[in-house]
Amino acid sequence: MKDSNALVKDNRQVAQDTYLMTLMCELSPFTPGQFLMLRLTSTCEPFLRRPLAILSYNEGAVEILYKVRGEGTSLLAEKKKGEELSVLGPLGKGFSDPRPEEEAVYIAGGTGLPPILAMAERMKRGRLIIGTYTKDDIPLWQRMQNIGGVEITATTEDGSLGIRGVATQALDGLLKTIQQPCVIYACGPTGMLKAAASLAKDLGARCEVSIEERMACGFGVCSACAVRTTTGNQRVCTQGPVFDASSIEWRQ
Amino acid sequence: MKDSNALVKDNRQVAQDTYLMTLMCELSPFTPGQFLMLRLTSTCEPFLRRPLAILSYNEGAVEILYKVRGEGTSLLAEKKKGEELSVLGPLGKGFSDPRPEEEAVYIAGGTGLPPILAMAERMKRGRLIIGTYTKDDIPLWQRMQNIGGVEITATTEDGSLGIRGVATQALDGLLKTIQQPCVIYACGPTGMLKAAASLAKDLGARCEVSIEERMACGFGVCSACAVRTTTGNQRVCTQGPVFDASSIEWRQ
Amino acid sequence: MDISIRLAPGLCLKNPVLSASGTFAYGEEFARIFDLSLLGGVVTKGLSLHPKEGNPTPRVCETPCGMLNAIGLENIGADAFIAQKLPFLGTFDTEVIVNFFGTGEDEYVQMAQKLDLDGVSAIEMNVSCPNIKKGGIEFGKDPQILNRLVAQVRKSTTKPLIVKLSPMVTHIGEMALAAQEGGADALTCSNTFPAMAIDENTCKPILGNITGGLSGPAIKPIALRIVWEVSRQVTIPVIASGGVTSWRDVVQFLLAGASAVEIGSFSLRDPLCFGAIIQGLIRYMQDKGLESITEIIGSLKSA
Amino acid sequence: MDISIRLAPGLCLKNPVLSASGTFAYGEEFARIFDLSLLGGVVTKGLSLHPKEGNPTPRVCETPCGMLNAIGLENIGADAFIAQKLPFLGTFDTEVIVNFFGTGEDEYVQMAQKLDLDGVSAIEMNVSCPNIKKGGIEFGKDPQILNRLVAQVRKSTTKPLIVKLSPMVTHIGEMALAAQEGGADALTCSNTFPAMAIDENTCKPILGNITGGLSGPAIKPIALRIVWEVSRQVTIPVIASGGVTSWRDVVQFLLAGASAVEIGSFSLRDPLCFGAIIQGLIRYMQDKGLESITEIIGSLKSA
Ligand SMILES: Cc1cc2nc3c(=O)[nH]c(=O)nc-3n(C[C@H](O)[C@H](O)[C@H](O)COP(=O)(O)OP(=O)(O)OC[C@H]3O[C@@H](n4cnc5c(N)ncnc54)[C@H](O)[C@@H]3O)c2cc1C
Ligand SMILES: Cc1cc2nc3c(=O)[nH]c(=O)nc-3n(C[C@H](O)[C@H](O)[C@H](O)COP(=O)(O)OP(=O)(O)OC[C@H]3O[C@@H](n4cnc5c(N)ncnc54)[C@H](O)[C@@H]3O)c2cc1C
Ligand SMILES: Cc1cc2nc3c(=O)[nH]c(=O)nc-3n(C[C@H](O)[C@H](O)[C@H](O)COP(=O)(O)O)c2cc1C
Ligand SMILES: Cc1cc2nc3c(=O)[nH]c(=O)nc-3n(C[C@H](O)[C@H](O)[C@H](O)COP(=O)(O)O)c2cc1C
Ligand code: FES
Ligand code: FES
C-alpha cells in the first residue's frame, strides 16, 4: 500500500452511467480483486475516499471502471485529463489462481465487472458470465470478446442482449455442462453472490466472492467493513474483499 | 440583484498574489463600489460566497481583480477558462459622482484598488493615489496610466516605485496643492480610510469610503456586516459598502 | 397531491418549507427576488421589546460545510416591526411566524402580548437566551425554567406558540416535553450549536463575540437525530432546523418525524433555493406515488 | 525548540500529536506506512474485558465535511490486546495510551487493573457508554455518576488516567470538574456527537445501528469551543479531539487551551497526515520565534 498522486490520462463513458478512467501512477503489482481508495478533492468535501477495484495496471497506467451512483462517482465522472487524484493502494486480498485442473467460471453482476474482468484478462481461460438489466448497461463488450481463451455469455433481464434472465440462472445452466472440477469467481449484488455460493456448494466446487461493504479507511484501521464469517467478523478491506464463499455467513 | 451563471473567460496573474478575472454574464448596469457575491463550488465547501468589487462591466463581460488571501480566493485563482461560477449582483451602493466643481481625488490601498479604479475609469478626470508595500504589489499599472485625464501617483512603503511612504501622506501633500473643492474616494485598510476621512474633515471636503466587513449573505438579510454610524448600525452590504466618511464611527 | 400541513389550530402551511429566523430579515430583501407567497411560511428575525444593536464585528465566519454567527440578536424592536414590516408581510399569501426572545420572563410575556395581532400567524420563541435572574443560565437549558417560561407565554397569547429548542443539552427529550407540557403547540428543533473559530496568525478569536452559533450542512446529521428523538417523545408537531440544503434533506427530516422544515444558512448562499426545493419535494412525491405529505412524516422504516 | 509536553506525572509526549481511538486500530496497519515513533503517542481502539463483535453494517457513512460511525466498539478484548498487540507497540519510541470502556463500574475497574502494565503509558477512559445499572444513561452524561466512576478507576491503577468526555451535555464544565475531582490526570475533549443519516430513497436509516457518532471537520468549531471552555475551568491538561485536519487546527486547539491533540477521522482520509502536521507545527513555531510549545497553550488573545 502506498499513497500516490495520480494524473488523469483519460476518462470516458463506456456504458449507461459507466466510465472508464485511466490514471498515471506507480503501483506495486496487483492481484485481480484488489482495489484503490481514491481521494476526489483537495477540500474536505466529500470527506471519505471511495473504494474502486483495479481493472488493469500496466507500466504506470491503472484503469478503473465505475458506475455513477452518488456524489463521489459524479465528481469522478467530471474529472478531466490532467487533473490530479490521490490514490491509496493496491489494497486488500485478491482472487487466487485457478488450479491447473480447474475450469474457471467468472460471474459478474452490475458494477461487479471490474475485478472479474481483471481476473479473466489475467488467466486468459475459462468462461465469463456478465449479467445486467439491459444491453446498454454492459461496458467493454468488445474488449471482453477479445480476451483469447475466455468464452463470454451475457444475460440481460429485459432480453436485449444474450440470454434473457439473471446471471445466476445462466451460471446454473453452464455449470451443468462442465464435466471437470470448477472454481467460481463472483462479484456483484449480495443476492447474486449468495446464489453463486449455493450453486458451488451443491456442486462441491470452490467459489471465491468479492464482497462490497461501506468503507471509511480501506486499510484496516476503522472496523467499518465487517463481514460475518464462520470464524467471526472479518474486515472486507484487508482480509477481503475476496473471500472463500463457504466462509461467509450470509445475512437473512 | 440577480443570481446568474457566469463563465470564466480569462483569469491571469497581474501582480504579486493578485489576479484579474473576466467573467461572461448578464448584469444590470453597475456603479463603481458595487460588488458581486461569488459562489466558488457546487459542493457546500467552502460554504459562503465571497464579496468582490466590480472592476468593469461591458457587453456581458465583468472584470474582477482580487488578491489571494485564503481558501476562497485560492480556489478562485485556480479557475480555468470555461469553468462556471454563480454570481449574485450587482450589490450595494456605489460612489456618487463628483459635482462639476469638485476635483476628484481617488485613493486606494492594497486590495482597495478595484472600486477606485472603476470610479477613475468611469469619470476620466481627477487624481489617483495607489499605495502598496512594494512595486510588485501594484496591479494594472499600465492600464492606470492609460485612463485619459487622471493623474496617477504611486506610493510604496519600501520606495521601490513612486513616493516612499504610505498613501495618506501623499494624499495630504496632494490636497495641499489643490485649490478648488475636493471630493475624496477611498478604499483600503481601515487605518487608511480613517486618515483620509480626517484629512477631508480638516479641509471641509466630501469624502466617500468603501468599507470592508465580513459578509455572509451580501444582500441585507443576515446582519453580519454591521458598521457603526452616527445614525446607528448600518449594513455594509446594502446601505454601503460606500458611506459618507463623516457618518462613520471609527473603531478605537 | 396535498403538500399542505396543519401545525396547530389555525396554523396550516400550504407546504412544509419555511424560512428560518435571522437569515431572512423581515422578508423585504427576498421579496425582491422571488414571490414570498410560494413559501409555507416566513419566519422573521428574532425580535425583542426594544431595538438591539448586536455584537461587535466580525459577526460571521466560515467553517467546514457551515458557518458561525454571533450577530447578537440585532433587531429593530417589536414596535418598529409592527409598524414598518408586518403590513408588508401581510401582502403575501403565506404564514407569518414571528420569532422573538427576551432577557427575562417579563419581556417574553410582553412580547407575546404585543404580537397577539392580526397578520401574525404564529409566534416562535427563541429560548437560547440567558435568563439574567437565574445567573445567566439559558432558558433553554433547564427543563423547569423552560416549562415555566412557556406556560407564562402560553397564557399571554391566543396565537399558536412554537418553542425553538437549544440543541446543546444532555436530554433534548426532557426539554421537548417540558415545552409541550408548558403549552407549546409545536417545537422547532433546533437552534445553532455554541462553537468558536480562532485565527492562528493573530492568535485571536475570529468573532468579535469570541463564540458563536454553528449552522449549515455540518450540523445536519445532529439535527436529524434530534428531530427523530424528539418527535418520538412528543405529540405536538416538530419543525426541523439545521443544515437543510436540498429537497432530499427536507424528505429526510420529514421521514425522521418533522412536519415542516426551516431553511436558514443555505439561503444566504443560494437565495433562490426555496422554489427548487419545493419543486423537488413535489417530484419526489410524484415518483413515489404519494397523495399527501403526511404520508412521509415519521414514516422512517427500520434499518 | 522544545515541542514536548508533560501531561501527567510519568507521561511526557515528545510532541503534542496523537492518533485517536478507533481510527488507528492497534497501530499495526499504520506502522506499515510510517514510523510510529514520530508520534507523540498512539491511542488504541477502545478495549473491553471480552472481545466485542460490534454493530451490524453499514457502520459508517459520509456527511458534509464529516462522517458518522456506529462501529459498536468492536474490539479484540483486553487479553488478546495484551498478548498480541501491546508488545508490538512497545517496539516504538512513542507513548502507548490504551483506550477502554465498560458496561458497568466493575468492568471499568477490572480493565484499569488489567492495563496496569509495563508498556502502557496511560489509559484513556471512554465514558460515552451506557450504564446498564442506571437504566442505560451514559456514564458521561451525569456528573455524579461520572465522578464516582472516575474515582473507582483512579483507585485501581497506578497509570496516568485520561477521561474522554461526551460532548453532548448541557454543562460540559461540570462534567470536566467531576472527572478532575474524581482523580483524572487529564481530559480528552471530546468524543463524537450522536447523529444520524437517512436514505430518502429506501426511507431507512443508513447505519445498521440507526444512529451513530459524528466526527470530522464539521464538528471542529464545537470541539474548539469545548476545549476553550473546559480548559479554563480545570487545572489538569486537556487533550483536544474533533475535526483536526492540519497544523493550523493543532495550533488553534493549543491556543484554546489544549496541551495535545488527537487526529481521528482525517487520518482515515489521509493516513500520512501525521508527519506533515508535526512539521507544520514546527515551522509555525520557527516563524513566530517560539522556544517551547507551552508558550502557545492557552495563549489566546482577546478579540
Ligand atoms: C472493494 C470495493 C470495490 C469496488 N469497486 C468498484 C468498481 O470497480 N466500480 C464501481 O463502480 N464501484 C465499485 N465499488 C462501489 C463504489 O465504491 C461505490 O459505488 C462508490 O463508493 C459510491 O460512491 P458515491 O459517492 O458515488 O455514492 P454515495 O452517494 O456515497 O452512495 C451511493 C450508493 O453507493 C453505495 N456505496 C456508497 N459508498 C460505498 C462504499 N464505500 N462501498 C460500497 N458501496 C458504497 C451505497 O449503496 C449508496 O447508497 C466498490 C466497492 C468496494 C467496497
Ligand atoms: C464589499 C467588498 C468588496 C470586496 N472587493 C474585493 C476586491 O475587489 N478584491 C479583493 O481582492 N478583495 C475584495 N474584498 C475582500 C475579499 O472579499 C476577501 O479577501 C475574501 O473574501 C477572502 O476570502 P478567502 O476565502 O480567500 O479568505 P478567508 O480564508 O475567508 O479569510 C482570509 C482573510 O480575508 C479576510 N476576509 C475574509 N472574508 C472576508 C469578507 N467577507 N470580507 C472582507 N474580508 C474578508 C479576513 O481578514 C481573513 O482573515 C472585498 C470585500 C468586501 C466586503
Ligand atoms: C446569521 C444567523 C442569524 C440567526 N438569528 C436567529 C435569531 O434571531 N433567532 C433564532 O431563533 N435563530 C436564529 N438563527 C438560527 C437559525 O434560525 C437556524 O435555526 C440555524 O441557523 C440552523 O439552521 P440552518 O443550518 O438552516 O441555518 C440564526 C442563524 C444565522 C445563521
Ligand atoms: C470509526 C471511529 C471509531 C471510533 N472508536 C472510538 C472508540 O473506540 N473509543 C473512543 O473513545 N472513541 C472512538 N472514536 C472517536 C474518536 O476517537 C474521536 O474522538 C472522534 O472521532 C473525534 O475526532 P475526529 O473528528 O478527529 O475523528 C471513534 C471514531 C471513529 C471515526
Ligand atoms: S474500511 Fe476501515 S477497516 Fe475496512
Ligand atoms: S452580509 Fe448579510 S446583511 Fe450584510
pLDDT digits (tens, 9 = 90+) for C8-32: 999 999 999 999 999 999 999 999 9
pLDDT at B176 over 90: no
Task: Compute how many other C-beta atoms are within 10 angstroms of the C-beta atom of residue A216.
Answer: 28
Measured between CA atoms, the residue of chain C closest to residue A46 is C65
User: What is B2-91's CATH number?
Assistant: 2.40.30.10
pLDDT at C59 over 90: yes
Closest Cα to residue A34, out of A57, A10, A5, A59? A57
Residues 204-263 of D with CB under 8 A from C: 204-205, 207-211, 214, 216-222, 224-225, 228, 243, 248, 251-252, 255-256
pLDDT at C134 over 80: no
Closest residue to atom 9 of ligand 4, CA basis: D46
Q: Indicate whether D21 belongs to any domain.
A: yes
Report the relative pairing of strands B2-15 and B84-91 from DSSP bridges.
Answer: antiparallel
pLDDT in the model for residue A171: 87
pLDDT in the model for residue D212: 95
Name the β-bridge partners of D164.
Answer: D126, D188
pLDDT in the model for residue A172: 85
Mean pLDDT of chain C: 96
Q: What is the mean pLDDT of residues C256-281?
A: 98
Q: What is the mean pLDDT of residues B201-209?
A: 92
Q: What is the mean pLDDT of residues B189-205?
A: 92
pLDDT in the model for residue A252: 61
Higher-scoring residue by pLDDT: A159, D110: D110
Separation of alpha carbons A200 and A92, rounded Å: 24
Catalytic annotation, pick one of C61, C129, C189, C273 = C129
Question: Which chain D residues touch B45 with a CB distance below 8 Å?
Answer: 64-65
Whether B215 lines ligand 6, by a CB cut-off of 6 Å, is yes
Whether A216 lines ligand 5, by a CB cut-off of 6 Å, is yes
How many domains does chain C divide into?
1
DSSP string covering chain D: -B--EEEETTEEESSSEEE-TTSSTTSHHHHTTS-GGGSSEEEPPPB-SS-B--PPSP-EEEETTEEEE-----B--HHHIIIIIHHHHTTSSSEEEEEE--SSHHHHHHHHHHT-STT--EEEEE--SB-TTTTT-BGGG-HHHHHHHHHHHHHT-SS-EEEE--S-SS-HHHHHHHHHHHT-SEEEE--PEEEE-EETTTTEESSTTSEEEEESGGGHHHHHHHHHHHHTT-SS-EEEES---SHHHHHHHHHHT-SEEEE-THHHH-TTHHHHHHHHHHHHHHHHT-SBGGGTTT-PPP-
Domain spans of chain A, in order of start: 2-91
pLDDT at C130 over 80: no
Q: Indicate whether C95 belongs to any domain.
A: yes
Q: What is the mean pLDDT of residues B62-87?
A: 94
Mean pLDDT of chain B: 93
Q: What is the mean pLDDT of residues D86-110?
A: 96
Provide the pLDDT confidence category of residue D132 given band limits of 50, 70 and 90: low
Q: What is the mean pLDDT of residues A152-168?
A: 91
Grid cell listed for A207: 467459489
Provide the pLDDT confidence category of residue B173 given band limits of 50, 70 and 90: confident
pLDDT at D133 over 80: no
Q: Supply the ipTM of this predicted assembly.
A: 0.96
Ligand 4 pocket by Cβ (under 6 Å): A 222; D 20-23, 45-46, 69, 71, 73, 99, 126, 164, 191-192, 215-216, 241-244, 263-266
Q: What percent of chain B has pLDDT over 90?
A: 83
Mean pLDDT of chain D: 96
Give the domain CATH number at C79.
3.20.20.70
| Residue C173, SS3 per DSSP | helix
Q: Indicate whether C59 belongs to any domain.
A: no
Measured between CA atoms, the residue of chain A closest to residue D272 is A3
- Do residues D69 and A216 lie in contact, with contact meaning Cβ atoms separated by under 8 Å? yes
Q: Indicate whether C303 belongs to any domain.
A: no
Closest residue to atom 11 of ligand 3, CA basis: C126
Separation of alpha carbons D270 and C189, rounded Å: 34
Structural domain boundaries enclosing D16: 5-54+71-195+214-295
Separation of alpha carbons C94 and B12, rounded Å: 47
Task: Compute how many other C-beta atoms are within 10 angstroms of the C-beta atom of residue C119.
Answer: 14
pLDDT at B67 over 90: yes
| D200 near A CB under 8 A | no
| A6 near D CB under 8 A | no
Provide the pLDDT confidence category of residue B139 given band limits of 50, 70 and 90: very high
Cα-to-centroid distance, B34 and ligand 6 (Å): 14
Ligand 1 atom index nearest CA of A113 = 8
Q: Indicate whether D9 belongs to any domain.
A: yes
Measured between CA atoms, how close is C9 to chain B, in angstroms? 30
Residue C28 makes CB contacts below 8 A (sequence gap 6+) with C85, C88
Ligand 2 atom index nearest CA of B215 = 41
Provide the pLDDT confidence category of residue C112 given band limits of 50, 70 and 90: very high
| Alpha carbon distances (Å) from A240 to A211, A247, C190 | 7, 12, 42
Provide the pLDDT confidence category of residue C132 given band limits of 50, 70 and 90: low
pLDDT in the model for residue C302: 86
Name the burial class of residue A153, with classes exposed (0-12), middle (13-18) and buried (19+) by CB atoms within 10 angstroms of its CB.
Answer: middle
Ligand 3 pocket by Cβ (under 6 Å): B 222; C 20-23, 45-46, 69, 71, 73, 99, 126, 164, 191-192, 215-216, 241-244, 263-266
Q: Indicate whether C206 belongs to any domain.
A: no
pLDDT digits (tens, 9 = 90+) for A58-71: 999 999 999 999 99
**Range from A34-48, A209-223, D127-141, D242-256 carrying the lowest mean pLDDT:** D127-141
pLDDT in the model for residue B45: 93
| A46 near B CB under 8 A | yes
Residue B70 makes CB contacts below 8 A (sequence gap 6+) with none
Q: Indicate whether D63 belongs to any domain.
A: no
Q: Note if D129 is an active site residue.
A: yes
> Which residue of B4, B47, B88, B230 is the best one to mutate when testing the C interface, meaning the one whose CB has the most C CBs within 10 A?
B47
Provide the pLDDT confidence category of residue C110 given band limits of 50, 70 and 90: very high
Question: Which chain A residues touch D267 with a CB distance below 8 Å?
Answer: 221
pLDDT digits (tens, 9 = 90+) for D31-47: 999 999 999 999 999 99
Grid cell listed for A22: 485511466
pLDDT digits (tens, 9 = 90+) for A167-225: 998 888 888 888 889 999 999 999 999 999 999 999 889 999 999 999 999 999 999 99
Q: What is the mean pLDDT of residues D260-268?
A: 98
